[in-house]
Structure 1
Amino acid sequence: MLTRSLGPDGPTLPALGVGAMSFADFYGPVTTEGSHAILNAARDAGIVHVDTSNVYGMGLSEETIGSYLATCKGETPFHIATKAGICRDPETGARGFDNSPEHLEAELDKSLMRMGLDRVDLFYVHRRDQRHEIEAVTEFLATLIAKGKIASFGFSEIAPTSLRRAAAVHPVAAVQSEYSLQTRAPELGLIQACEALGTALVAFSPVGRALLSDTPPTPQRVAASVFLKDNPRFIPGALERNIAASQPLRDLARQEGVATASLAIAWVLAQSESIFAIPGTRSTAHFAELVAGARLNPAPDLLAEIGRRLPVGWCHGARYSAAQAIGPEDYC
């Protein structure tokens, strides 16, 4: 299994992790047993990095991880990452962001309680709150390390300029961003900044929310997903176009005798030694395909052929809807 350092002087971990947003209901119904099966499969494969958030199912993902850890007899077999910073107005339900020290630490404490932990290995600010300068937020996160509540910290969906400002205050272990063959924005500065600073780029949705797989979402699966049903790449018309446009990758995978998801993972990990991938899935069979992708060593000519078949800009529709796009920092 390919391994890399997660952040400056960070631990050496397998380049593939588990995205635990799929332990909540974003992509369809989930069960505790099904999520535990994914964690068992990860342990069997030697995969240790598990990424969650306080808002995934409003604590459900963390509770599921906590119930699994409770069966481990005092052992913590995973490198756990969680996040805070997204909040809801209690009266209107409107989505907002809070990077205040009080909010971040209170939410971290709740996360630790849900998972039965004294410390998490990696704590992200899930979205930037522009009311708080990133330097001040970084200084506060460093105090959480000093308190022993977190081992390292990072930021999700920030611009390269923000990363450089934060890193000037304290080393930043990781930046989390969507990156795949269908979402290429990190190539325009973020990957380069991570490489220069020794920061890991943790790529979520590296299989394009299943578009880059042998079983792309059906209209029925999209309708059952809280997230996909409003996403511009999966609405009627765009979904059909994107399935057709990504078919050349499935054809190539068939020629190579591997799963399409395996090729998608292998391509992402080959783009930089700074990159980790955290795909989510509710299927142990699909998880095996993801593991196989992290074990591939694609030749340069295969990587070039993948790029020819899915060139930059092939995907129909924006990455996020107008509502989903509130929070991530634009930088290109």
Structure 2
Amino acid sequence: MSSTRTLGPFQVSPIGLGCMNLSHAYGQPPAFEQAERLLLQALDEGVTLFDTAALYGFGANETLVGQVLAKHRQKFVLASKCGMQGVQFSDGIRRVIDGRPATLRATCEDSLRRLQTDVIDLYYLHRWDKQVPIEESVGALGDLVHAGKIRSVGLSEVSAATLRRANAEFQITALQTEYSLWTRNPEIAVLDACRDLGVAFVAFSPLARGFLPGTLGSVDGLDAKDIRRAMPRFTPGNHATNLALLNGLREVAAEAGCSLAQLSLAWLLHRAPHIIPIPGTTSAEHLSENLGALAVNLSAAQMAKLDALMPSNAAAGARYNSINQTEVDTEDF
């Protein structure tokens, strides 16, 4: 397995780091000192792709990444996202999807300031604002490339058809969406479209939001603000059903001499050379464990067994609830 993978004009580590967990989504985030140690550990252990977004912590995650990593800026590829961010209303900050060119330009300036950098290497449209033609939003991002504010353009949670429309407007470097053993939707069309267009596929939640490592246990103890509480797969009934899926995976992991987390990441790395998973974590131990997946070699027979154990319809429950599902453009089984 190659020591790097191609991300547009960049060569990056085959496994990147999703930084969201350090500020957002899974309950109380870690203290600054712990988050700082984890980011620097990732850099020391060879991670060269760091992924954040304006949405995460409503700017807090970009601020964290900027404070910790700005002095190491030449050592890694920096990815962030626009088009979905927190907006202050009279009753507090709410998440808003807004893909209008003026908003994207303003968000980029805010991100550059928080990240303490002159240029963002890869800037994704976090969600396609369906009130704005994809060509209009992507054209605005292309203008940011020409202006030297960003180096390349990405898309998140879009279909193959939308990717092709966007790529006709401006070269897309990467498409990011959820992909793991229990979320196989990208196999419908997006993976092939990325390959055909020379677009990297960045897999977020490659460990199924903490499910695949087998350490989650009961969902009853999840923090009140944990986003998984609103996800159908993590309702107590569906979660109990899904836990049975891990039994077969444990057998393959034992045969391969690795953990469940390493097996899950190795499966992705073996699927295709244009796939780059970006697991997130707040744990130094889990970070090292995840990167250990690079040393796991899976045979064709083991890959086939994993596909049989976790087919497209294996997981009980939908990926998103009905409201969040309307916000994405991905194909569904």
TM range (shorter): over 0.9
Partner residue, 1:181: 181
Q: Does the 8 Å CA contact 2:82/2:107 hold for their aligned counterparts?
A: yes
Q: Offset of 1:95 from its aligned partner?
A: 4.0
- The 5-angstrom pairing of residues 56-71 of structure 1 reads 56-70=56-70
Q: Does the 8 Å CA contact 1:2/1:295 hold for their aligned counterparts?
A: no
Query: Percent of aligned pairs with the same residue?
Result: 34
Q: Offset of 1:239 from its aligned partner?
A: 1.3
Partner residue, 2:7: 6
Relative to structure 2, which stretch is displaced further, 178-187 or 205-214?
205-214
Task: Give, in whole Å, the separation in 1 of the partners of 2:94 and 2:269.
Answer: 36
Task: Give, in whole Å, the separation in 2 of the partners of 1:81 and 1:244.
Answer: 36
The Cα offsets for residues 144-197 of structure 1, whole Å up to 9 and x where unpaired, read as 011111010111101100110111122100111000000001000000000000
Q: Are the structure 2 counterparts of residues 63 and 126 from structure 1 closer, same or farther at C-alpha, using a change threshold of 3 Å?
A: same
**Residue aligned with 1:237, SS:** helix
Task: Give, in whole Å, the separation in 1 of the partners of 2:41 and 2:185.
Answer: 31
TM-score, normalised relative to structure 2: 0.93
Q: Does the 8 Å CA contact 2:52/2:79 hold for their aligned counterparts?
A: yes
Q: Are the structure 2 counterparts of residues 32 and 235 from structure 1 closer, same or farther at C-alpha, using a change threshold of 3 Å?
A: same
Q: Does the 8 Å CA contact 2:159/2:190 hold for their aligned counterparts?
A: yes
Partner residue, 2:241: 241
Q: Offset of 1:56 from its aligned partner?
A: 0.4
**Residue aligned with 2:322, SS:** coil
2:79 to 69, 78, 81: 81
- The 5-angstrom pairing of residues 112-151 of structure 1 reads 112-151=112-151
The Cα offsets for residues 277-323 of structure 1, whole Å up to 9 and x where unpaired, read as 00111111111121011332322112112222223311110000123
**Residue aligned with 1:203, SS:** strand
2:324 maps to amino acid: Q
Partner residue, 2:204: 204
Task: Give, in whole Å, the separation in 2 of the partners of 1:225 and 1:257.
Answer: 36
Q: Offset of 1:35 from its aligned partner?
A: 1.7
Q: Are the structure 2 counterparts of residues 276 and 258 from structure 1 closer, same or farther at C-alpha, using a change threshold of 3 Å?
A: same
Mind listing any 5+ residue stretches in structure 1 that lack a counterpart? none
Q: Does the 8 Å CA contact 1:246/1:310 hold for their aligned counterparts?
A: no
Partner residue, 1:251: 251
Mind listing any 5+ residue stretches in structure 2 that lack a counterpart? none
Partner residue, 1:98: 98
1:285 maps to amino acid: E
Partner residue, 1:49: 49
**Residue aligned with 2:214, SS:** coil
TM-score, normalised relative to structure 1: 0.93
Q: Offset of 1:88 from its aligned partner?
A: 5.0
- The 5-angstrom pairing of residues 289-304 of structure 1 reads 289-304=289-304
Q: Does the 8 Å CA contact 1:48/1:78 hold for their aligned counterparts?
A: yes
Q: Does the 8 Å CA contact 1:28/1:221 hold for their aligned counterparts?
A: no
2:42 maps to amino acid: A
Q: Does the 8 Å CA contact 2:62/2:115 hold for their aligned counterparts?
A: yes
Q: Does the 8 Å CA contact 1:213/1:250 hold for their aligned counterparts?
A: no
Q: Does the 8 Å CA contact 1:153/1:173 hold for their aligned counterparts?
A: yes
Task: Give, in whole Å, the separation in 1 of the partners of 2:312 and 2:114.
Answer: 41
Task: Give, in whole Å, the separation in 1 of the partners of 2:48 and 2:23.
Answer: 19
Task: Give, in whole Å, the separation in 2 of the partners of 1:13 and 1:88.
Answer: 30
Q: Does the 8 Å CA contact 2:18/2:280 hold for their aligned counterparts?
A: yes
Q: Offset of 1:217 from its aligned partner?
A: 4.6
Task: Give, in whole Å, the separation in 2 of the partners of 1:75 and 1:65.
Answer: 10
Q: Are the structure 2 counterparts of residues 147 and 277 from structure 1 closer, same or farther at C-alpha, using a change threshold of 3 Å?
A: same
Partner residue, 2:17: 18
RMSD across aligned positions (CA): 1.8
| Bigger helix fraction | 2
Task: Give, in whole Å, the separation in 2 of the partners of 1:211 and 1:238.
Answer: 12
- The 5-angstrom pairing of residues 154-169 of structure 1 reads 154-169=154-169
Q: Offset of 1:81 from its aligned partner?
A: 0.5
Q: Does the 8 Å CA contact 1:69/1:76 hold for their aligned counterparts?
A: no
The Cα offsets for residues 116-168 of structure 1, whole Å up to 9 and x where unpaired, read as 11111000111111222112222221110111110101111011001101111
